[in-house]
Structure 1
C-alpha cells in the first residue's frame, strides 16, 4: 500500500468512524508493519486529523445525549411539568416551561438564582417550576423541608419569599435560625417547624428524587427548558438562547 493510499484510507476512516473499515488481517506481517509506520508518519505530519476526529466524536456523543435526554423528558412529562405539588411561578400560562432542580446549599444554584430571575422577568412568557432536590447533606434537606413547610402553612407567596431567603442564607439550618427566618417572613414559626417532618413533605422530596433518578440527574442545578435537559449552571445569555430555540 503506497503512502498516499495509506493516508487516504486513514483520513477516510477517521472521518467516517466505525462505518468504514478494511480488513487488516488480510495483510502480511510485513505489510502490517509498513502500514503501521505509514499511519504513524501521517499522523505526525497531520496531527489536526486526530483533533478533527475527536471533535467529530464529541459532537456525535453530544447529539446522542441530547436525543436521549429529549426522550427522557417526553417519557416523564407529566411528572416534570404537572406533578400537582411543585411551586409554579413566572407566567402560569407561559408558552415555555422552565423547571429547575435545585439545592439551596449548592453554590452554582446560588450563582444561577439571579440570572433565572432575570430570565423570567425579562421574558414575561415563561412558566417556572421549582423542584426541591436536596442532595448536599442534612442542611440541604432541612432547607427544602423548611421551604415546603412554609408553603403548606402560608401559601405560594410565602414559599417564594422563603426560597429567595434560603438561596442567600449563609448560616447553618439550626432551629433558632429557622425560627428567625420564619419570623422575618411573617410566618408562624411553630407551625412551620411542626410541619417540616410531615408525611406530605417527605413524599414530595422522595418523589422528586425518584424523578431525578429517572432523568439521570445527579447534580444541581439541572434545568428542563421546553423539551431540553440542561445539566449544570448556564449563564443568562445561554438560557435566553435555549428558550428562543425551543420557541422556534
Structure 2
C-alpha cells in the first residue's frame, strides 16, 4: 500500500524554506535519521521526481551557458565577425553571419563541410567566416598554414579552392602532398610553401587560438551564429532552424 505522501512532501519541501525555518543542526540523531528516511522513501516511491529535478537542472544549466556565451560573443564581437584576416564567403552583405572554427584533420569538420556549403549556397543571405583553428597535430598545422598562406598571397577564390581540397584530402599532409594540391589548383606553390612559416601566418593562428580560448572553445567544429555558440557538429537542418530563429528575433 502506498504511504501517505504528505509527510514526505513536507520533508522535501523543507529544503526550499528559509534556513531558519528548519534548523538541521538542532535535530537529534534520531530526528535526522527519520528525516532522511522519509525523503528516501518518498523518492523510491516517486522516482520520476528525480528525473524532473534533473530536467530542471539541465534547463537551468543550458540557460546559464547560453547567457554566458552571449556575453562572451558580445565582448569579442569584432574579433569574431570582422577580424580583417579570415576568409569571408557566402554573401558578404548577408543578414546572418556564420563563423566556423575548424581543423582540416577533424572528422566532424569534414562531415560538416558539405552541410555548411549547402546551407550558405541555398540560403543566399548568409555571410560565412572560416577561422583556421589547428588543434589535432602537425598535419593540422601544416594544412592551416598552407591555407592561410594561400589566402594571403592569392586571395579568396584560391583560398576556398585550397580549403575544399584540404578538407577532403584522404592522405597524409606533408610538403609533397601540399605541393601536389597546389599544382593541381594552379597555385604558386613555391611562394605559398615559403610563406607558411612566416610571422604573418603564425600571427593569424595565434590570434585564432587566443580568441578560441577567450570563448571557451576547445574542440572542432565550433560555430558562432548571432549570439549563439554551437560546440560540435550540427546538421544542416539544425543550422537552418537557428538561422530562422535569428531572423525572427531581429
Matched position secondary structure for 2:131: strand
| Cα RMSD, aligned residues only | 2.0
Cα displacement (A) at 1:61: 0.6
Matched position secondary structure for 1:218: coil
Q: TM-score, normalised by structure 2?
A: 0.93
Matched position secondary structure for 1:217: coil
Q: TM-score, normalised by structure 1?
A: 0.94
Once residues 101 and 211 of structure 2 are traced to their aligned partners in structure 1, the CA distance between those partners, rounded to angstroms, is 10
Deviations 1:102-132 (A, max 9, x none): 0000000000000001111121110000000
Change (3 A) 1:19 1:146: farther
Partner residue, 1:240: 240
Q: Which runs of 5+ in 2 are unaligned?
A: none
Once residues 141 and 89 of structure 2 are traced to their aligned partners in structure 1, the CA distance between those partners, rounded to angstroms, is 22
Cα displacement (A) at 1:204: 0.3
Matched position secondary structure for 2:42: helix
Change (3 A) 1:85 1:56: same
Once residues 70 and 88 of structure 2 are traced to their aligned partners in structure 1, the CA distance between those partners, rounded to angstroms, is 22
Change (3 A) 1:52 1:213: same
Once residues 21 and 50 of structure 2 are traced to their aligned partners in structure 1, the CA distance between those partners, rounded to angstroms, is 17
Cα displacement (A) at 1:182: 0.2
For these two proteins, the number of residue pairs brought into alignment is 246
Once residues 59 and 129 of structure 1 are traced to their aligned partners in structure 2, the CA distance between those partners, rounded to angstroms, is 30
Task: Assess if the C-alpha contact under 8 Å between 1:3 and 1:38 holds in 2.
Answer: no
Change (3 A) 1:10 1:172: farther
Partner residue, 1:165: 165
